[in-house]
Structure 1
Amino acid sequence: MQRIMIIGQPGSGKSTLARALSQITGLPVIHIDRIHWQSGWVERSRAEKTRLCHEAEAGEAWIFEGGHSATWDNRIRRADLLIWLDLPLGLRMWRVLWRLVRHYGRSRPDLPEGCPERLGRESLAFWAWIWNTRHSARQGMARLAGSEAARGKLIHLRSRREVAAWLQAQECGRRNGPGNAELR
């Protein structure tokens, strides 16, 4: 297992899972927010994001967490595993609030430097976006998960308990097996 794709809506735990899997596998993590944003919360152009995603996807080994669905078809073809974190909206909203509080005034580990968590017009727009895309974004992820390219590669996790159990199984496999853990 050399390439793992993680998708999910904001607050689903993509970055946290990616870091945990990196500890288990030794694979490098690619955070979409580092591609999407530049310091000072400056958004890259769509073309630049697409180019950077394709460059990252061309790598031999990665855990790529996050969106930019324009590049999902290429990414899923290269991925050995697709993990869809499909957690309830209420939990996700709580997690987004908690990460705002926990990292307030500082950049999160999955963001570029100079992108501090803050409460303002932009963050309120982000909350509105989470609410407004809750159905359409999920439908897009369901289409990807149901695609021919995802067949035999999909791990669909729908609760904190499922995520924790799956991750624990990966950790146990690592402790009990030689070398890098083969994810299941």
Structure 2
Amino acid sequence: MNRIAIIGCGGSGKSTLARQVAAVLGHPLTHLDAIHYDQQWQPLPPEQFAAEQQKLVAGDRWIIEGNYASTLPIRLAAADTVIFLDLPAAACLWGILQRRWRYRGGQHADGVYDRITWGFIRYVLGYRSAMRPRIHALLQKHGPHARLITLTSRQQVNRFLGQRQR
């Protein structure tokens, strides 16, 4: 596990898991929100966002967390491990509410942005039916060489972390 892509629905715990795995393995961690958005929540142009990821994946060891399906092939092609947090919508919505309570909204120091809109809630509710098939297709096309770890509950995430800490 030297080049790890962590993907999943908003609120699934990607950022938290990424921080914990980075602490255990000592790999550099990148939150894609921190690259994609500036302080005013303005996105980078798509070409620049893709170019930044090309630079990141050129390293020998990294953890990159975030979805961004349009640039997922860049990360999948270079990753040796993909961790897919495939949690139910209710768990993701609960994660979003906990994050809102903890951070009180806005952009966090690590670049993750806590922004809840009706569009985002609809995205979370429809993630498994709309995005999961797309993610699986991208995994088959761009990441068949990578070890895929799919975690479908917070309990599985905790067990996975417990195994890493031994």
User: Please, what TM-score do these two structures have when normalized by structure 2?
Assistant: 0.88
Count of residues paired in the alignment: 166
Q: Which residue of 2 aligns with 1:176?
A: none
Q: How does 1:49-88 map to 2 (within 5 A)?
A: 49-88=49-88
Q: Deviation digits for residues 44-101 of structure 1, max 9, x if unmatched?
A: 2222211211121122211011122233223222111111110000010111122112
SS at match of 1:161: helix
Q: Which residue of 2 aligns with 1:89?
A: 89
Distance 1:72 1:23 in 2: 24
Residue type of the alignment partner of 2:163: A
Identity %: 33
Question: Is the Cα contact below 8 Å between 1:84 and 1:145 reproduced in 2?
Answer: no
Residue type of the alignment partner of 1:31: H
Question: Is the Cα contact below 8 Å between 1:80 and 1:153 reproduced in 2?
Answer: yes
Q: Deviation digits for residues 153-179 of structure 1, max 9, x if unmatched?
A: 11111111111111101111xxxxxxx
Q: Which residue of 2 aligns with 1:165?
A: 159
Q: How does 1:18-37 map to 2 (within 5 A)?
A: 18-37=18-37
Distance 1:42 1:152 in 2: 32
Question: Is the Cα contact below 8 Å between 1:5 and 1:65 reproduced in 2?
Answer: yes
Distance 2:90 2:105 in 1: 24
Q: Which residue of 2 aligns with 1:156?
A: 150
Unaligned runs of 5+ in 1: 173-184
Q: How does 1:6-17 map to 2 (within 5 A)?
A: 6-17=6-17
Distance 1:88 1:11 in 2: 10
After superposition, the Cα gap between the structure-2 partners of 1:146 and 1:159, relative to the gap in structure 1 and judged at 3 Å, is farther
Deviation at 1:110, TM superposition (A): 3.3
Question: Is the Cα contact below 8 Å between 2:86 and 2:150 reproduced in 1?
Answer: yes
Q: Which residue of 2 aligns with 1:137?
A: 131
Question: Is the Cα contact below 8 Å between 1:9 and 1:86 reproduced in 2?
Answer: yes
SS at match of 2:107: coil
Which has the higher mean CA deviation after the structures are superposed, 140-149 or 162-171? 140-149
Question: Is the Cα contact below 8 Å between 2:6 and 2:65 reproduced in 1?
Answer: yes
Unaligned runs of 5+ in 2: none
SS at match of 1:43: coil
User: Please, what TM-score do these two structures have when normalized by structure 1?
Assistant: 0.80
Q: Which residue of 2 aligns with 1:39?
A: 39
Distance 1:163 1:13 in 2: 9
Q: Which residue of 2 aligns with 1:179?
A: none
